[in-house]
Amino acid sequence: MTTDTSTPLPQTVPTDRPFARGLMPAPMPVQFLDDLGRRVQVFNDDYPEPSSEQLVAAYGAMVIGRRFDVQATALAKQGRLAVYPPSRGQEACQISSMLALSRNDWTFPTYRDSMALVTRGLDPVEVLTSPHGAAHCGYDPRASRTAPQSTPLATQLIHAVGFASGEKRKGRPTVTMAFVGDGATSEGDFHEALNFAAVFKAPVVFLVQNNRYAISVPLSKQTAAPSLGYKGIGYGIASEQVDGNDAMAMLAVLNKAVAHARSGQGPVLVEAHTYRLDAHTNADDATRYRDSAEVEDWGRRNPIARLEAWLRHEGLIDDAFVASVAAKAEAFAADLRERMSVDLTVDPMSLFDNVFATPTPQLLEQRAMVQAELEAEEASR
Amino acid sequence: MTLNDTARPEGTPAPAAQQVTMSGAINRALRDAMSADADVVVFGEDVGTLGGVFRVTDGIARDFGEERCFDTPLAEAGIVGYAVGMAMAGFRPVIEMQFDAFAYPAFEQIASHVAKMRNRTSGRVNLPLVIRVPFGGGIGGVEHHCDSSEAYYAHTPGLKVVTPATVEDAYTLMREAINDPDPVIFMEPKRLYWSKGFIPGAAAPDAEAFQSFGRAAVRREGTDVTLVAYGPSVDVAMEAASAATDSGWSVEVVDLRTIVPFDDETVVASVRKTGRCVVVQEAQGFAGVGAEIAARVQERAFHSLHAPVLRVAGLDIPYPPPKLEHLHLPGVERVLDAIARLQWDDDADTRFFPDAHLADAGKGGAA
């Protein structure tokens, strides 16, 4: 018997649970440690506690990372760097994102993720080459498995997706960690990246460091979403929100997110609630858009002190260990200071080296012109 | 008679040559490149099952599989950015922007990343990818489907900009583009998709055999005037050159083939020989590729010139509705008018005199 009714519309709400709560983030940020470093249960049931080794490593990386960041800010104030966008206060996000990855994984950072790159093991001098003025990117992206730090916001997220897809198509088990801030979640490329990642099931972890301000614009003017973690749901991406100043929570969630992506189940979006304690860059005046009470309040959520308190409580570290880490951080900063004090020489002819694999005749003409100018200048000295 | 309707172009391998449309030639180039290199992948909007709105990728998904040729979500910045990542992972993506104006959302990806990656990374990361852009008008298309966008790309250091005028070139230039270690914007003249010509037969040569980038082609030899054109305007220049013989002008036609790299040598050699030059482009004229060519010719061949280099270009208007596009597009008459103004009698060209509107238009020396 024929019928004049069409096929019923499909059920559209997924019933499987690809991540902790299906696609939904927890109703409040996942937390393992409170502000005083006491172990708490805040929507963390689905996440195994990170190993002691990983937590101790995280503590050391945060101390060195913060020291690096403070040193870089000082170098910018001294004029040694053209600019430096600091991440002091965001240490838990910066170091967890790297400790959750394997050596062969890739990362696609922004300009504010220098601390993460140092955690990854990149030479800090090479990380700071760009603001130092010698080249746009000082490190070798292939050798370090780290894409050049991206300034055009959210644009590199799509590269992370294409790269992760490419690796998957080549049969390699690579995961990519893609960084974005709260402001850049308003960019179109953020949304296109999420959509492509979901459609192609790309092994990408999107880490949104919500530090509350896009330069001066507060989150309330950026979005009406209850949480930036919700932005994954519409694309079919498993999402979570985490206390971004709780290193244990960050590691627990990112460990699981990386494993999820690596296992072929697709991308994960993680929103980390954190705070940039310093201004946007050394050229910015944060007092124009936020009051000191707010900064002090966030200062009390110090990710390093929280983890240190818990590690001491568990007997995993002691005074001697803390002192040795502090000494290591000071030595790291001293080495950086010394190496950054050397005046740079850059080959002027390198201007023409990497426009194309083979320079065009027009570039060769311009090269000859600059060469002649320099030789004339030299001769007139 | 246009270049693409003539018999087999000179030099084409005769016995094995195959007659195809330009769209078919690009299709064959994609297939040959994909057969030769497993890293060549094709993706974009509607390029999979459908074979593209112009059928350029017809049958490729079927024959090479979904892994090699696939549809993406409808987002141009996403397509280009995804290709950047795929190239970093070792692929050679060939991607389609469905129409010229639809590529604008991807402009940031192209200008800030595609063009600059090699430079930003001091040569450590290169992007061997091809961005196909069906471009230009003359097909009665509605708004946003007929833009000539080549100047945006040509103005961006780090991009090669290619536009074939013949079916044979569509094949060989595409093979060369895919083989290139740097990103190539491959501008396909929409109105030539159905033109016919010859490409190599079954035994296609290796991509290394094609060396046309930066080498303009002299499509017709002449002694009095050089017409410089590219892409969809080469046919117009060829027709004008034929018509010009009625007035006794012997016209040489230079087809750039690649806007970047630009072949100063061939263009300037031709102008030195003829002493006169007209640049023909379909795009709006102001600040366009034609302006660059005119400037370069005058910088390099001033003492050989008997007249200013003139431009024949589209009007400086947003692309008009179909019923009016014939007035916008540079045609044979406008090219012939420009040739007529090339100081043949050494009288002043009054067109740009302050009181030109009072003068008897078209009569030299009226002022």
Q: Which of B71, B88, B92, B213 to mutate to test the interface with A (most CBs of A within 10 A)?
A: B88
Beta strands B310-314 and B217-220: pairing type? unpaired
pLDDT for A13 equals 61
Q: Is the pLDDT of residue A204 over 70?
A: yes
The domain locations on chain A are 20-340, 348-379
Residue B124 has its nearest CB partner, among A142, A157, A357, at A142
Q: Give DSSP secondary structure letters for B309-365.
A: -EEEEE-SSSPPPGGGHHHHS--HHHHHHHHHTS-SS----GGGSTTTTTS-TT-TT
Q: Is residue B107 part of a domain?
A: yes
A199–B contact, CB cutoff 8 A: yes
- For range A314-342, the mean pLDDT: 97
A-chain CB neighbours of B262 within 8 Å are 360-362
Could you report the per-residue pLDDT of A223-262, keeping only the tens digit for each? 999 999 999 999 999 999 999 999 999 999 999 999 999 9
> Which domain range does residue B321 map to?
217-352
Distance from CA of residue B79 to its chain's centroid?
Answer: 22
Helix, strand, coil: what percent of chain B each, to 5? 40, 20, 45
Distance (Å) from the C-alpha of residue A132 to the closest C-alpha of chain B? 14
- Looking at the structure, do residues B256 and B276 belong to the same domain, yes or no? yes
Kindly determine whether residue B82 and residue A155, on different chains, have CB atoms separated by under 8 Å. Answer: no
Q: How many Å apart are CA A56 and CA A317, to the nearest integer?
A: 8
CA atoms within 13 A on the CB side of A326: 9
- Give the separation between CA A261 and CA A267, rounded to whole angstroms: 5
Inter-residue contact A367 to A359 (CB < 8 Å) = yes
Strands (E), chain A: 20-23, 31-33, 39-42, 106-108, 176-181, 204-210, 213-214, 217-218, 238-243, 268-273
pLDDT of residue B126: 98
Q: Do A170 and B89 touch (CB under 8 A)?
A: yes
Distance from CA of B177 to the nearest CA of A (A): 13
| pLDDT confidence band for B1 (50 / 70 / 90) | very low
**Each residue of A269-322: pLDDT tens digit?**
999 999 999 999 988 999 999 999 999 999 999 999 999 999 999 999 999 999
Residues in chain B within 8 Å Cβ distance of A170: 89-90
Catalytic residue among B113, B145, B155, B306: B145
The CA distance from B172 to B167, in Å, is 9
**Summary mean pLDDT of chain B:** 93
d(CA B335, CA B283): 14
Residue that finishes a domain, picked among B152, B177, B209: B209
Of the candidate ranges A128-137, B83-92, B307-316, the one whose mean pLDDT is the lowest: A128-137
Burial class (CB in 10 A: 0-12, 13-18, 19+), B344: middle
Closest listed residue to residue B74, CA positions, set A161, A160, A192: A192
Tell me: the pLDDT tens digits for B230-289?
Answer: 999 999 999 999 999 999 999 999 999 999 999 999 999 999 999 999 999 999 999 999
- B222 with B96, same domain: the answer is no
Q: Residue B6's pLDDT band (boundaries 50, 70, 90)?
A: very low
pLDDT at A133: 92
Sign of CA dihedral B342, B344, B347, B350: negative
Q: Is B366 a member of any domain?
A: no
Q: Is A47 marked active-site?
A: no
For residue A140, the chain B residue with the least C-alpha distance is B124
- Give yes or no: residues B163 and B31 share one domain: yes
Max CA separation in chain B (angstroms): 69
Question: Is B363 contained in some domain?
Answer: no
Q: In terms of CA atoms, which chain A residue is nearest residue B39? A: A170
- Evaluate whether the domain defined by A20-340 bears CATH number 3.40.50.970: yes
Does any domain span residue B58? yes
Instruction: Count structural domains, chain B.
Output: 2
Give the CATH number of the domain where residue B48 resides.
3.40.50.970
3-state secondary structure of A180: strand
Contact status of B122 with chain A (Cβ, < 8 Å): yes
Residue B367 has pLDDT above 50, yes or no: no
CA B125 to chain centre: 27
Please give the pLDDT value at position A10.
73
pLDDT band for position B215 (cuts 50, 70, 90):
very high
Contact assignment for B118 to A166 by CB distance below 8 Å? no
Tell me the percentage of chain A whose pLDDT exceeds 90. 92
What number is the average pLDDT over the span B203-230? 92
Residue B358 lies in a domain: no
Distance of residue A192 Cα from the nearest chain B Cα, in angstroms:
5
Give pLDDT, residue B359: 54
**Integer-rounded Cα radius of gyration of chain A:** 23
ipTM of the complex: 0.95
Q: Which residue of A has its CA nearest to B75?
A: A192
Residues B93 and B226 in one domain: no
B230 vs A: CB within 8 A: no
Q: What is the CA B343 to chain-centroid distance, rounded?
A: 29
pLDDT class of A199 with cuts at 50, 70, 90: very high
Which residues of B fall within a CB distance of 8 Å from A359?
none
Closest residue to B120, CB basis, from A136, A157, A160: A136
Searching chain B, which residue's CA lies closest to the CA of residue A168?
Answer: B89
B76-88 and A188-199 are packed helices; what angle lies between their axes, rounded to 10 degrees?
60
- Whether B364 is in a domain gets the answer no
The 10 Å CB-count burial string (b at 16+, else e) for B36-69 is eeebbbbbbbbbbeebbebebbbebbeebeeebb
Instruction: Please state, in angstroms and as integers, the Cα–Cα distance from residue A100 to each residue in A57, A243, A258, A261, following that order.
Output: 11, 16, 7, 12
CB contact under 8 A, A196 and B121: no
User: According to the model, what pLDDT value does residue A20 have?
Assistant: 63
Q: Of the candidates B143, B175, B209, which is a domain's last residue?
A: B209
Residue of A nearest to B180 (CA): A357
With CB atoms and an 8 Å threshold, state whether B113 touches A159. Answer: yes
**A143 vs B175: CA distance, rounded Å:** 31
Locate the DSSP E strands across chain B: 18-21, 40-44, 69-71, 92-96, 130-135, 160-162, 184-189, 196-199, 217-220, 225-229, 251-255, 258-260, 277-284, 310-314
One domain, residues B197 and B334: no
For residues B296 and B253, the answer to whether their CB atoms sit within 8 Å is: no
Looking at residue A344, what is its pLDDT?
83
User: Which residue among B67, B88, B260 sits closest to A169, beta carbon to beta carbon?
Assistant: B67
pLDDT band per the 50, 70, 90 thresholds, residue B365: very low
Q: In terms of domains, do B62 and B106 share one?
A: yes
- Tens of pLDDT along A39-52? 999 999 999 999 99
- The predicted-structure confidence for B95-154, as pLDDT tens digits, reads as follows 999 999 999 999 999 999 999 999 999 999 999 999 999 999 999 999 999 999 999 999
Least confident of A257-266, B41-50, B186-195, B205-214: B205-214
Could you tell me the CATH number of the domain that includes residue B258? 3.40.50.920
Domain co-membership, B86 together with B143: yes
Instruction: State the pLDDT at residue B200.
Output: 83
What value does the mean pLDDT take over residues A9-19? Answer: 63
Residue A337 annotated to the active site: no
Contacting residues of A for B289, CB less than 8 Å apart:
none
Does residue A308 sit in helix, strand or coil? helix
pLDDT in the model for residue A18: 58
pLDDT at B11 over 90: no
Say if A136 is an interface residue toward chain B (CB within 8 Å).
yes
Compute the C-alpha angle A329/A335/A339, nearest 5°: 145
Size of interface A-B (CB pairs under 8 A): 139
Q: Are residues B199 and B329 in the same domain?
A: no
The shortest C-alpha distance from B193 to chain A (Å) reads 29
CB–CB contact B121 A155 (8 Å): no
CB contact under 8 Å between A361 and B119, yes or no, is no
Are residues B194 and B320 located together in one domain of the fold?
A: no
* Residues on chain A touching B91 (C-beta within 8 angstroms): 166, 169
Question: Are the CB atoms for A158 and B85 separated by under 8 Å?
Answer: yes
Q: Contact, A157 vs A189, CB < 8 A?
A: yes
Active site residue A172: no
- Co-location of B22 and B132 in the same domain: yes
Position B366 scores a pLDDT of 40
Q: Does any domain span residue B310?
A: yes
Mark yes or no for CB contact A354/B264 under 8 Å. Answer: no
User: Out of A239-253, B194-208, B255-269, B348-362, which region has the weakest mean confidence (pLDDT)?
Assistant: B348-362
Mean pLDDT of B189-204: 90
Looking at every residue in chain A, the average pLDDT score rounds to: 95
* B138 and B249 share one domain: no
Closest partner residue to A165 among B86, B125, B160, by Cβ?
A: B86
Chain A contact set for B265 (CB, 8 A): 361
**Is residue A334 less than 8 Å (CB to CB) from chain B?**
no
Cβ <8 Å between A136 and B73: no
| Residue B67 contacts A where some CB pair is shorter than 8 Å | yes
- Nearest by CB: B112 against A141, A155, A169: A155
CB atoms A159 and B73 under 8 Å: no
Q: How many CB atoms neighbour CB B292 within 10 A?
A: 16
Q: Which of these three, B156, B186, B209, is where a domain ends?
A: B209
In terms of domains, do B175 and B271 share one? no
In a domain, B237, yes or no: yes
